[in-house]
Amino acid sequence: MIELYRDILTLLDSGAEGALATVVHSAGSSPQKIGSKMLVLPDGTIRGTIGGGAIEQATIEQANSVIRTGRALVFKAHLTRDLAMCCGGRMEIFIEPVGDHPPLIIFGGGHVGQRLCEVATAAGFRVTVVDGRPEFASAERHPGAVACIAEAPLDALDELPWGANAYAVIVTHDHRMDEDLLVAVVDRPSRYLGMIGSRAKVHRFMKRYRTRGLDLEDFARVRAPIGLDIAAREPGEIAVAIVAEMIAVRRGADVGFQPLSITAEPVPARSPGDLPPGS
């Protein structure tokens, strides 16, 4: 049991998410008794056990739902009637989210980055702000951030909390920096990667990437223009649009994501709310 709690602490320290399943009722010939615990990680691997077999597999499936939605639940099963197990007992398992505070890396601490840090922190993200300008990467400017790195973004990449549950947003004040950053981070592990800017900006980037011989398929998962299309204009509105999109990804909501155009051909204007540089 001590090892299981160590695994939970490791999960929390990494900023990843998981689900903890605890047996809260057991009757008959059930494989584990009250208090047995199992930690389920996002990739489906487990630490600990609640008995193995069909009940454990069904619990893992329920735990994946808890990880996706962030909502706890009680899973009840009659082992023979519901799961065709021969032992004939009954179990109730309480499944709760663990570490529901995914890391968010914000490249750019300007007007949009500042508001984005505020809104994302309120939504439960653990924010790291990276900006080469010390005055834009300070704890005073971003009091909700867990870390502020006053270093050129391209030099700080290895210091950042990349991972399967990480979110990253490029909102710097410099289009060339955005272009170089996107290339540098597109292969880093993350659940969400977005870049601020208009469709025209994205088209220019894709055209230059193709000229450089890069595989444009690598950029298909990038969200650019970034955020839900709510015609946002002001930094606070833009921050809300971005965080809303991240929440949709986090909770598995269908908001009609269109993969980034990889043809490098001209694309129509999105709307008057195309997002400006992060500044």
What domains does the chain contain, in order, with CATH numbers? 2-98 (no CATH), 103-251 (3.40.50.720)
Using DSSP's 3-state secondary structure scheme, residue 8 falls into helix
Rounded Cα gap, residues 166 and 154, in angstroms:
17
**What tokens does 148 get?**
């502020």
The pLDDT mean for the chain works out to 85
The whole-number pLDDT of residue 260 equals: 62
pLDDT band (50, 70, 90) for residue 183: very high
Helix (H, G, I), strand (E, B) or coil at 160: coil
**Using one digit for the tens of pLDDT, what is the confidence trace for 16-74?**
789 999 999 887 666 567 888 999 987 888 999 887 778 888 899 889 888 877 788 99
Sorted by sequence, the CB contacts under 8 Å of residue 120 that are 6+ apart come out as 104, 106, 127, 239, 242, 243, 246
pLDDT computed for residue 28 by the predictor:
65
